[in-house]
Amino acid sequence: MTSQELIDNGWVQRECKIGTLYFKGDFFGKLQGDVFEMRSMRDDMSSIGTAKTFEDIREIQKKYYQKEVKDYEILLGMAKFKLKQFE
C-alpha cells in the first residue's frame, strides 16, 4: 500500500507533528513502509490494527464497529437494569 493508493481510496493526507497521517471518516492512520497502522477518532491513543491491503482496512473497520455495537448493547443493558430500580 502506498500513500497515493490511500489518497486514491479517499483517505485525506495531513501533515502533523508526528508525521504524515491519513484520515477517512471515523478513522486515521500512519503509513510506515507498506504497513498502515489504524486508529479511531474516538480513541486516538490506541491502535486498532495494522493493514497491508484495503481488504485488511475494511476488516479492521468491520471489527471496530462490531465491538462498538457490543459495547453499546452492554451499556443499554446496564441502563435498563438501573431503570427497573424505579419501577
Count of domains for the chain: 1
pLDDT value of position 11: 98
Print the domain residue range for 70.
3-84
Query: Rounded CA gap, 48 and 63, in Å?
Result: 9
| 67-84: average pLDDT | 96
What are φ and ψ of residue 59, in 5° steps?
A: -65, -40
**Is the distance from CB of 39 to CB of 46 less than 8 angstroms?**
yes
**Is the distance from CB of 76 to CB of 84 less than 8 angstroms?**
no
DSSP one-letter code for 29: E
> How, if at all, do strands 19-24 and 47-51 pair?
unpaired
pTM of the predicted protein model: 0.86
pLDDT value of position 81: 95
pLDDT in tens, 39-67: 999 999 999 999 999 999 999 999 999 99
